[in-house]
Structure 1
Amino acid sequence: MTDASSPTVWRRWLALELTRLRREAGLDQKDVAKALRCTVAKVSYYETADRPVVVKDLDEVLLPLYNVPENRWSAYLRAAKDARKKGWWETHGGPPIPSWFSLFVGLEQGASQIRAYESEAVPGLLQTRAYTDAITRRGTAERAEDEIERQIDLRLTRQNAVTRASNPLRLWAVLNEAVLRRVVGNPAVMRAQLLHVAEMARCPKITVQVIPFSRGAHPGMAAGPFQILNFPWPSDPGVAYVEHRAGAFYLEAPHEIEAHTVAFEHLVALALSPDESVKMVRDIAEEYA
């Protein structure tokens, strides 16, 4: 186990561990439900991270039932307590963000790596305030000014994941050339945004690659933008995230993750190298001068 900055991810880690420990103990969910004097559904919720684990259940029943050595209990109990906390994005002020997106922010803030393909816009973690402002106002209908401002602030606060001093998020972004060419806001906003992307790409844990129009058809054209999130422990296979207008898909089946991983690898192979990509970003930025 390692440090994570998100209760969502602690809940995820604990769910994976409880599933592993139960199977190693040779127990079914119904056996655990009998020991807890609860329904099988409750055990399933614990093992899918749909609900945080009750610390008392863990301390008094699950850890002894699974024969976990007592010198390891403290790690599980601490994870259970951290998993029940509120993430900063859940106390950000104003109306709560949709549950489907709150889940994503929680996963993003605790991820160790995100690989993202973007076809239309600069990834949120690399956006400037002016770019975020322009894209949010154009894409947001019938919302009050204070709600728009909160949405902008939320996106900018999320960027702390890639700049924090301890275990910053590893971000690998592949961008379609259209991201650089589509004028969001005005040319001055675009120039500042592209120079910011080029500057951020100098960070050791941030990689930016661009697929030029000249490379023709590519796997990103089939289904659009997507992200693959990985977490700090090898036992977690990760999540493929695909957003749509009414919510998002969280794809966790092995074949789903593999399909997106293969697609991302093909996009990386088609893209310019990181150095060539940064040069292209800077060159196009100067075209906006």
Structure 2
Amino acid sequence: MWRRWLAFELTRLRKAANLEQKDVAKALRCTTAKVSYIENAERSIMLRDLEEVLLPLYSVPAEKWPKYVQAARDSRKRGWWESYDSDALPDWFSLFVGLEQGASQLRVYEAQLIPGLLQTREYAHAVSQRGPVEREQEQIERHVEVRVGRQEALCRKAKPLRLWVVLDEAALRRVVGSPQVMRDQLRHLAELMRKPKVTVQMIPFEQGAHPGMVGRFQILDFPWPGDPGVAYVEHLGGAVYLEGPGEIAAHVIAFEHLCALALSPDDSVKMVESIAKEYS
């Protein structure tokens, strides 16, 4: 979270000072690529570089320095997810988990699966077993642990994550694991849908074609003013993180259209509960 905030702030300060990344690289005696990594939150800033170079270079008032220094310290703390190896949590997804844990709101469109934050352990286990990557049993267990650990963001005491999901009916109809696993998953989903910070809307088959048919996506929003957020699109080999204004706007518009086509939250709960009974 703090790495994201600090990266956003350092970019803002550089632009306010009318400096290019190459100017910052010259002051830091590093490559422009390193400056880009810092501003994209892919690498933490060294405290010495921040205090001796960047804050003076950007003419930041001395009374504001402690806020940036503390953010730099906090950004270097390892998150719980970083203790997992790449078999359980690839680098490209570790970045997403870090962003997800620091986000204030997550908007999700999914067509085929119940999203990870809403999955039961048994459903997550079945998904991992049949995923695009072949995993040993131990790797599957670690993969499920990560997925369950991510769900803590929904019930954390300090500002729980606001989750808004649009699901295609196919995600409820596709039998993952077994009919019993699906029954328990849909009952669990219906319970979560009644939580104040969780909104789930269903798109029934009869709605026909819709903007989500090109594939699933997620939009992450962050708690500080001015941050445009991130659009996240996953594929078999990794993921794409989209941060351009036009790219984010396209996904926001698509999500709004999907919400308009979907059932209301109350009718969506009824649909989930009805299909859960079919699995009984």
Q: Please tell me the TM-score bracket, short chain as reference.
A: over 0.9
2:91 is aligned with 1:99: yes
- Secondary structure, aligned partner of 2:225: coil
- 1:160-199 map, 5 Å: 160-199=152-191
- With normalisation by structure 1, the TM-score equals 0.92
- 1:36-51 map, 5 Å: 36-51=28-43
Aligned equivalent of 1:250:
241
**Whole-Å separation in 2 of the counterparts to 1:141 and 1:224:** 19
Considering only aligned residues, what root-mean-square deviation do their CA atoms show, in Å?
1.6
Q: In the alignment, residue 226 of structure 1 is paired with which amino acid?
A: F
Post-superposition offset of 1:169: 0.6
**Whole-Å separation in 2 of the counterparts to 1:90 and 1:73:** 28
- Secondary structure, aligned partner of 2:130: helix
Aligned equivalent of 2:106:
114
Provide closer, same or farther for how the CA distance between residues 55 and 270 of structure 1 changes in structure 2, counting only shifts above 3 A: same
Post-superposition offset of 1:15: 1.4
Post-superposition offset of 1:196: 0.7
2:204 is aligned with 1:212: yes
Q: In the alignment, residue 101 of structure 2 is paired with which amino acid?
A: Q
- With normalisation by structure 2, the TM-score equals 0.95
2:41 is aligned with 1:52: no
Query: Unpaired runs of 5+ in structure 2?
Result: none
Structure 1 range deviating more: 96-105 or 53-62: 96-105
Query: Unpaired runs of 5+ in structure 1?
Result: 1-8
Aligned residue pairs total 280
1:240-269 deviation per Cα after TM superposition (whole angstroms, max 9, x unaligned): 111111111111111111111111000000
2:264 to 243, 248, 273: 273
Q: In the alignment, residue 160 of structure 2 is paired with which amino acid?
A: P
**Whole-Å separation in 2 of the counterparts to 1:25 and 1:258:** 27
2:7 is aligned with 1:15: yes
Provide closer, same or farther for how the CA distance between residues 94 and 15 of structure 1 changes in structure 2, counting only shifts above 3 A: closer
1:134-171 deviation per Cα after TM superposition (whole angstroms, max 9, x unaligned): 12112255422111110011101110011111111110
2:214 is aligned with 1:228: no
Q: In the alignment, residue 42 of structure 2 is paired with which amino acid?
A: D
